[in-house]
Amino acid sequence: MNRVYIKTYGCQMNERDSEAVAAMLRARGYRIVSDERESDIVLLNTCSVRDLAEQKAIGKAGHIAARKKENPRLVIGILGCMAQNRGASILDQLPDVDLVIGTQKIHRVPGYLDLLRSLRESGMPVGSTIVDTAEEEGSQDAIRDHLLAERQVSAFVSIQQGCDMDCSFCIVPKTRGDERSRPMDAIVEECRALVDKGVREITLLGQIVTSYGRRDYAHTGGITPFVQLLERLHGIDGLSRIRFTSPHPQGFKPDLVAAFGRLPKLGEYVHLPLQSGSNRLLRAMRRPYTRERYLELVAALRAVQPRMNLSTDIIVGFPGETEEDFEQTREVFSAADYDMAYVFKYSRRSGTPAESLAGQVPEEVKEQRNQVLLGMLEQNSLRRNQSLVGTRQEVLVEGPDKKGLRYSGRTRGNRTVHFPAGPEWIGRLVPVAVKRASTSVLYGEMEPLAGA
Ligand code: SAM
């Protein structure tokens, strides 16, 4: 009765939370299984950013609940953002759920599963639900355990929870709470321990990573706490690359832009959420920058690293978005010359400032604008990837590709490359000559290492 299947919806933070919960469960003797049908306990770690994500999780939970007819002892848990957003009201739709655990309590899941088990063993009627969506001081420090696969090269490290921004479309401040950072020493120690286990690339995670530690650490000599953290991680021997997501354009102060010139482990890739290219909409979204400032930032990053690869988040169909606003988004989208983008159709979220705005955009208009941007992105990614054909790229080798035909790794600009290699290269930085390119990947051949 201890086999746990975890399904995760949404962002990398959710993936990381699930991994930490899985590691804690394993340490307590639970088994993590990858086949849902073999499980005694199903945990859904949910997302609330868009309504579709919530609907998917609700649909899935309903489907699993049907299994309770044959197996009344099956345990179902709803964790994370939707649990936080909806709380006990989830039970109106899903009365068979056993656990509803919010974002600041997710590390308590192993304890709650133990409790549920002992209550049931002592004769508590099957069907009672544990709901815990309270705030917990220091809960950000609990997401630190890892479940590394054999020879895992890349790992996520959570440095902060919550968000103090006030974007009018976004439910995250409600679901994740106020911004709270972890102590710098604990993060450095965690990263060091990962490197000792063979990890070579670390991606720092937070809702607004660039705000890291701003209430806890002084700016010393114009260097923000986030850049101080990057500097300390940069000093870890054996760590080859440091990435981070998700930043906010406002967080790119001169010290962070300059860091890309002096800290080589940062590579040449930045995720820079734009949301809209219209100043009027940026104001309505409560984003504290203009299109002009955003493009200045793009230029500053490419002045430091000319080949800087950029990705972004865009919302199409925000209330009141006109053709003219969308045209302005297209202009910035084209000028920023992105390698990757996540384009979202605006989803009305309850309790957010934009919920009651007039001028909701029809679904078919959102879809059409979505397709326009995806079409532009496809052409752009292909052009930018093709421009790498004939160049030599430094690649961090991750392991066999999904088809098992070649090995794959990523360039300093975060593009995936497939090339013939062997297991002895996993975790190493190797030069790869790029021979071919598609929209999403590069193909190449390893070159001899200098001095080899
Ligand atoms: N750090 C990022 C930023 O710049 O604010 C925010 C990360 S957010 C959790 C992920 C993305 O989801 C956002 O950048 C935004 O594009 C999208 N998103 C958030 N709320 C949304 C909504 N109501 N409808 C559609 N997309 C949304």
Beta strands per DSSP E along 141-226:
154-158, 160-161, 180-181, 201-205
User: Which helix (H) or strand (E) element contains residue 379?
Assistant: helix 363-386
What average pLDDT does this structure show over 296-301? 98
Beta-bridge mates of residue 408:
399, 418
> What confidence tens digit (pLDDT) does each residue in 16-37 have?
999 999 999 999 999 999 999 9
For residue 165, the ligand 1 atom closest to its alpha carbon is 5
The CA 343 to ligand 1 mean position distance, Å, reads 10
Which residue's C-alpha comes closest to atom 12 of ligand 1?
A: 49
User: Which helix (H) or strand (E) element contains residue 418?
Assistant: strand 416-419
> What confidence tens digit (pLDDT) does each residue in 384-393 have?
999 999 999 9
The CA 163 to ligand 1 mean position distance, Å, reads 12
Q: How far is CA 319 from CA 159, 184, 314, 360, in A?
A: 33, 40, 14, 4
Q: What is the pLDDT of residue 452?
A: 57
For residue 287, the ligand 1 atom closest to its alpha carbon is 5
The CA 126 to ligand 1 mean position distance, Å, reads 39
For residue 170, the ligand 1 atom closest to its alpha carbon is 20
Q: What is the pLDDT of residue 121?
A: 83
The CA 172 to ligand 1 mean position distance, Å, reads 8
For residue 167, the ligand 1 atom closest to its alpha carbon is 5
Q: What is the pLDDT of residue 173?
A: 94
- Tell me the pLDDT of the chain averaged across its residues: 96
Q: Could you give the maximum distance between any two Cα atoms of the chain, in Å?
A: 70
The CA 313 to ligand 1 mean position distance, Å, reads 7
Pair 195, 146: CB distance under 8 Å: no
Estimate the share of the chain in helix, then strand, then coil, as percent rounded to the nearest 5: 40, 20, 40
Q: Which of 255, 244, 444, 276 is nearest to 354 (CA)?
A: 276
Q: What is the pLDDT of residue 126?
A: 65
Band (127; pLDDT cuts 50, 70, 90)? low
User: Which helix (H) or strand (E) element contains residue 410?
Assistant: strand 407-410
Give me 273's structure tokens: 């959420």
Global pTM reads: 0.96
> What confidence tens digit (pLDDT) does each residue in 358-381 have?
999 999 999 999 999 999 999 999
Band (451; pLDDT cuts 50, 70, 90)? low
Pair 287, 279: CB distance under 8 Å: no
The CA 195 to ligand 1 mean position distance, Å, reads 31
The CA 272 to ligand 1 mean position distance, Å, reads 12
For residues 117 and 164, give the distance between their C-alpha atoms in angstroms, rounded to a whole number: 38
For residue 275, the ligand 1 atom closest to its alpha carbon is 16
Pair 361, 346: CB distance under 8 Å: yes
Q: Which of 32, 23, 25 is nearest to 5 (CA)?
A: 32
The CA 162 to ligand 1 mean position distance, Å, reads 13
For residues 395 and 417, give the distance between their C-alpha atoms in angstroms, rounded to a whole number: 8
Amino acid at 129: T
Q: How many residues does the chain have?
A: 452
The number of helices, as runs of H, and strands, as runs of E, in the chain is 13, 19
More confident position, 73 or 334: 334
The CA 104 to ligand 1 mean position distance, Å, reads 20
> What confidence tens digit (pLDDT) does each residue in 240-285 have?
999 999 999 999 999 999 999 999 999 999 999 999 999 999 999 9
Band (1; pLDDT cuts 50, 70, 90)? confident
What average pLDDT does this structure show over 50-60? 96
What average pLDDT does this structure show over 127-141? 92
For residue 313, the ligand 1 atom closest to its alpha carbon is 16
- Looking at the chain, the whole-number percentage of residues with pLDDT higher than 70 is 99
- 120 CB-contact burial (10 Å; exposed 0-12 / middle 13-18 / buried 19+): middle
Q: Is the pLDDT of residue 450 over 80?
A: no
Q: Is the pLDDT of residue 355 over 60?
A: yes
Whether the CA torsion 16, 399, 195, 212 is positive or negative: it is negative
More confident position, 118 or 171: 171
Pocket test of ligand 1: the residue of 85, 170, 175 to mutate, having most ligand atoms within 8 Å of its CB, is 170
- Looking at the chain, the whole-number percentage of residues with pLDDT higher than 90 is 93
Q: What is the pLDDT of residue 123?
A: 79
Q: What is the pLDDT of residue 386?
A: 98
For 37-106, where are the alpha helices, taking DSSP H only? 51-66, 81-86, 90-93
Q: What is the pLDDT of residue 124?
A: 74
3-state secondary structure of 155: strand
What average pLDDT does this structure show over 113-117? 92
For residue 169, the ligand 1 atom closest to its alpha carbon is 23
For residues 274 and 291, give the distance between their C-alpha atoms in angstroms, rounded to a whole number: 8
Ligand 1, CB cutoff 6 Å, lining residues: 11, 49-50, 165, 167, 169-170, 172, 207-208, 246, 248, 273, 275, 313, 315, 344, 346-347, 349
